[in-house]
Structures are given as C-alpha cells and as structure tokens.
Amino acid sequence: MLASRAFSLVGKRAISTSVCLRAHGHAGVVKAEDFSLPAYVDRRDVPLPEVAFVRDLSAQQKALKEKEKASWTALSVDEKVELYRIKFNESYAEMNKGTNEWKTVLGGVLFFLGVTGLILIWQKHFMYGAIPHTFSDEWVSAQTKRMLDMRMNPVEGISAQWDFEKNEWKK
C-alpha cells in the first residue's frame, strides 16, 4: 500500500529524485545490511522468529519446500524433520539444555583464589619480619589472665566469656 502511494507521488512529481529512484527499485540504492533485516533468534520467549533459520535453500531443500505445498501426509518423517530444521535452528529442548560451564567457572575461581594464597606465602617469606614476642603462647596466657583479673569487658566481652566460679571458659 505504501508502494502504491509512493508511485502516485511519482506521477505527481511531488517528490525528490532520490525518492524516485527508491520507488523504481535498484539503481543507486545501498543494499540493506544484514543487521537491518529481520533476524532469526533462538529464544524461549520467541517461539516463532521473524524469519526462517535457513535463508538460502539448496536445490534439494527447494524441492522439499515444493512438496510441502501438497498434502502433508505424503511427507516422510525425515522430510518433516528436515522442514523443521530449515525453519528452526535449535529445538526448545536443545535451547534449554544446561551446560557444564559452571565447572569451568568454579574451577577457575578456586584456582585464582589459590594464587592469592601463594601471594600470602610470598609475603610471609620475603616481607614480614619476626612476630612480636607478645604473641607467644606464654605471653598470651599471662595476658589473658591479667585481662580477666581486671574484669575487662565484663558485659559482652572477654570477662563475660569466662566462668569465674569454675575457673574455665563458659560453654
């Protein structure tokens, strides 16, 4: 309908030359790029894509398409499947099929976390100095008793965790 409107305008000479050319067809017009044309897509929410999957049919496929115009009971099962595969790329089952990608992802993540551990090893070996003596078990034991004797943080902290009657950590 739009084309006939355009043609009527051509008769009235009410339009520019470039539109004239477009109305006539091919001369001097840029070919439409693939990405600007309706595209096929495998998506769960698009059950009938705008175009068939196979665009350029082989001679065999063209013959099959002709046969499709007749009664469908004449088609064999293989021919039906071939017609399906012309129209669609993946079936829903194929589309929805899960992959094993998670294994690669998780394995890769764990590997690089391991590399992080290697960095820590390097730091300990080459960078950190000796640990201060106040971290030795002996010192920390004495330090802890002193903190408890002073009743440090008695409400929710360390003294609250110690049972002063039984002389042991609260369970």
Q: Which is nearer to another protein, 5 or 170 (CB)?
A: 170
Residue 17 in contact with residue 23, Cβ under 8 Å?
no
Identity of the residue, 56 or 168, whose beta carbon is nearer to another protein in the bound complex = 168
Binding residues for another protein (CB under 8 A): 77-78, 80-81, 85, 91, 94, 99-104, 106-111, 113-115, 117-118, 120-121, 124, 131, 135, 137-138, 140-146, 148-149, 158, 161-162, 169
Task: Report the 10 Å Cβ neighbour count for 88.
Answer: 19
Q: What residue type is 167 in one-letter code?
A: N
For residue 44, the minimal CB distance to another protein (Å) is 18
**Closer to another protein by Cβ: residue 10 or 94:** 94
For another protein, the closer of residues 18 and 58 by Cβ is: 58
Instruction: Read off φ and ψ for residue 163, nearest 5 degrees.
Output: -90, 105
**Positive or negative: CA dihedral 95, 98, 100, 101:** positive
Q: How many CB atoms lie within 10 A of CB 68?
A: 16
